[in-house]
A and B are shown apart, each in its own frame.
Chain A
């Protein structure tokens, strides 16, 4: 469901469509995500629309990205260090 929300704001109906679960079940799931601060809710006419709030996830993403670059460069330096000692 979060995958869909990455694309942009979606109504409850649109979010429920690909899943074989009831609308109330989807609403319940969205309420949990909302309580956790991961989505924000907006009323559009009779529908509720949800938007992903990615900021709580930022720290994890930034750190893993950081180390995905950091460690390979350090392993390369380790190789250079070992070569000097040979």
Chain B
């Protein structure tokens, strides 16, 4: 049940500009979250927002990869969540194709569950049917 989320966006700005938006703490705060990021491998930092719905509002991160202006990754931990965020920048014409992979939605308990589920696990179940079931149960149905 290890699951990665992948996203992609194309911007008309060159990779150097996008890289700056990803690595300058002030820029990063403007579009992502307030932070004390530094583009230095091993640097520990946090994203902090107002706590909400049983979430502390804090994401603990460690910078893992800094390859300007191509690749940036950091760990992304919050509560039971232990994941990695990886940004990849590719020139596309005069602009940039930005890929984001948020990987490793597993954790110790989830690895155990993944083992139990074996081949019975299907992504459709995780993305659609199980959430629907949980919502039904929350609403008090059976």
Please report A residues at the B interface, Cβ cutoff 8 Å. Answer: 1-3, 6, 32-33, 36, 38, 52, 54, 56-61, 63-65, 67-68, 71-72, 74-82, 85-86
B130 touches A81 (CB 8 A): no
Q: CB of B41 within 8 A of chain A?
A: no
CA distance A31 to B131 in the complex (A): 24
Number of A-B contacts (CB under 8 A): 98
The 8 closest A-B pairs by CB, nearest first: A77-B31, A36-B116, A81-B31, A75-B9, A78-B31, A6-B129, A82-B13, A71-B7
5 A/B residue pairs, CB under 8 Å, sorted by A: A1-B120, A63-B81, A63-B105, A78-B98, A79-B11
Using known A-B contacts A36-B113, A38-B116, determine if residue A71 contacts B100 with beta carbons closer than 8 Å: yes
Q: CB of B40 within 8 A of chain A?
A: no
CA distance A36 to B127 in the complex (A): 21
Given contact pairs A33-B116, A75-B7, a sample of 18 additional A-B residue pairs in the complex whose CB atoms are under 8 Å apart: A6-B133, A36-B112, A52-B133, A54-B130, A54-B134, A57-B130, A59-B81, A61-B126, A64-B5, A71-B5, A71-B102, A74-B31, A75-B98, A77-B32, A78-B21, A78-B98, A81-B21, A82-B18
